[in-house]
């Protein structure tokens, strides 16, 4: 199955998995293909799956007063989904949308929870991964609340310069909490300033 080697490598970066834990985990994976603009998870649904991106780009977003707010992106060889809905098994406040065609490995919530009871090394890996997700979300919240628009743009450009060419500007602007015109101005001025 495509993506298994990459997924195992990512999991082992958190903490080594025993062969038995890996085999049981891998047995529960399903490879799915998604189309561009396909909604993978809808607002109000309970997220049943944890995803690993084999290829493609996805975004998490919510709608309020007919406005679209992007809260997260996922890329090749990273985890994806709506984590708060997945772990609490409560309805999602967000959508998960494929920005590009892609392939995802997914694992069912209930089966994964049973595996945690059997394989504590797998539970440890997911705990460490969840801690990193929480740390990233806390840093993002700080940036949105404490940094200026230019500082937020520069932080994104320094952390993930590849996204500036991969993701439409309107979604990046939303993610950074600014309007598209401000984003475009910053993109042009910072590029000109670096030349």
Alpha helices in the chain (DSSP H): 4-14, 19-27, 83-88, 109-118, 120-146, 149-159, 163-166, 169-176, 180-194
pLDDT score at 189: 85
Q: Tell me what the mean pLDDT of segment 172-194 comes to.
A: 84
Would you give the DSSP letter of residue 142? H
pLDDT score at 191: 59
Bridge partners, 48 (sequence order): none
pLDDT score at 62: 96
pLDDT score at 195: 41
Q: Model-level pTM?
A: 0.90
Per-chain mean pLDDT for the chain: 93
Domains annotated on the chain, with CATH? 4-118 (2.60.120.10)
Q: Tell me what the mean pLDDT of segment 65-76 comes to.
A: 93
Sign of dihedral through CA atoms 87, 91, 93, 96?
Answer: positive
Q: How long is the chain?
A: 195
- Asked if the model's pLDDT at residue 193 lies above 50, the reply is no
Coil, helix or strand for 106? strand
Q: Tell me what the mean pLDDT of segment 23-35 comes to.
A: 97
pLDDT score at 108: 97
- Asked if the model's pLDDT at residue 194 lies above 70, the reply is no
Instruction: Label residue 162 by pLDDT band (50, 70, 90).
Output: confident
- Asked if the model's pLDDT at residue 10 lies above 80, the reply is yes
Q: Tell me what the mean pLDDT of segment 29-58 comes to.
A: 97
- Asked if the model's pLDDT at residue 169 lies above 90, the reply is yes
What are the tens digits of pLDDT across the range 38-48? 999 999 999 99
Q: Tell me what the mean pLDDT of segment 56-76 comes to.
A: 94
Name the strand (E) or helix (H) holding 32: strand 29-34
Q: Tell me what the mean pLDDT of segment 87-93 comes to.
A: 96
d(CA 137, CA 2): 29
Bridge partners, 68 (sequence order): 63
Residues 84 and 107 sit within 8 Å (Cβ to Cβ): no
Burial class of 192 by CB neighbour count within 10 A (0 to 12, 13 to 18, 19+): exposed
């Amino acid at each position: 199955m495509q993506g298994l080697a990459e997924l195992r490598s990512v999991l082992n970066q958190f903490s080594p998995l025993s062969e038995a834990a890996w085999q049981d985990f891998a047995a529960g994976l399903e490879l799915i293909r998604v189309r561009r603009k396909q909604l993978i998870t809808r607002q109000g649904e309970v997220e049943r799956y944890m995803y690993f991106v084999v290829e493609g780009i996805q975004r998490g977003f919510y709608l309020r007063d007919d406005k679209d707010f992007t809260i997260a992106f996922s890329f090749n060889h990273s985890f994806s989904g709506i984590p708060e809905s997945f772990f609490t098994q409560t309805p999602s406040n967000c959508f998960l949308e494929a920005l590009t065609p892609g392939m995802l490995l997914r694992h069912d919530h209930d089966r994964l929870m049973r595996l945690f009871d059997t394989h504590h090394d797998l539970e440890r890996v997911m705990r460490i991964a969840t801690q990193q997700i929480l740390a990233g979300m806390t840093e993002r919240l700080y940036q949105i609340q404490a940094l200026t628009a230019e500082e937020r743009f520069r932080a994104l450009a320094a952390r993930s310069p590849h996204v500036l060419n991969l993701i439409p500007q309107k979604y990046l602007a939303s993610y950074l909490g600014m309007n598209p015109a401000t984003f475009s101005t910053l993109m042009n001025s910072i590029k000109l300033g670096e030349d």
